[in-house]
Amino acid sequence: MKGIRAAAALLIAIAVPTRVVGQTCLATANSVNCSIPGQVVLTVNGVVSLQTSSAATTLPPPSPADYNAGFNSTVGPTLTIAANQAWTVYIRAAAPLWTATNTSGSLAARATKPVGDLGWSTASNGVFTPLSTTDVKVVSGPASGENIATLYFRTVYNWRLDTPGNYSLSLMLTLTAP
């Protein structure tokens, strides 16, 4: 019987509601208004967003005129940046050399084509910066909802060095905010 009373007392203690104390407001007969001061706390974190118009850019194959000029150019992806703080976009190559795949049975594709043979710019007729494996600033700006930047690429060609083949290069675009 002693064990049953202890269990019943425990059950009653759990079942009895406890009083929760907070702020209260009491209106008197002469007043119909009752106000309680309160506070709302909000933490706004830094938010940055980078979108590209495409994940890959197909460079045009070089023509004889391109070999003679030493390069050809093409439009790359459009970047859309949104941020609630100052931001910067950087570009770099993921590896120091292009990946070369043979397409001719008698002649190997150039396995030593350096990333610097691809230049980038934010203007079609601008100065093209050779790509490297180190982050280089492409564009930056203040906090704002939408910023647009287009990348342009210029590929360098050499008659003696750039043999037939399929070439690819992985790029890294990095968006940072201080």
pLDDT band at 12 (very low <50, low <70, confident <90, very high): very low
Tokens 């292009």 map to which residue?
98
CB 77 within 8 Å of CB 145: no
Can you give the pTM of this predicted structure?
0.78
- What pLDDT, in 10s, does the model give residues 25-65? 777 767 678 888 889 999 999 999 999 999 999 999 999 99
**Which residue type, as a one-letter code, is found at position 146?**
E
pLDDT (tens digit per residue) in 86-122: 999 999 999 999 999 999 888 999 999 999 999 999 9
Percent helix, strand and coil across the chain, each to the nearest 5: 15, 35, 50
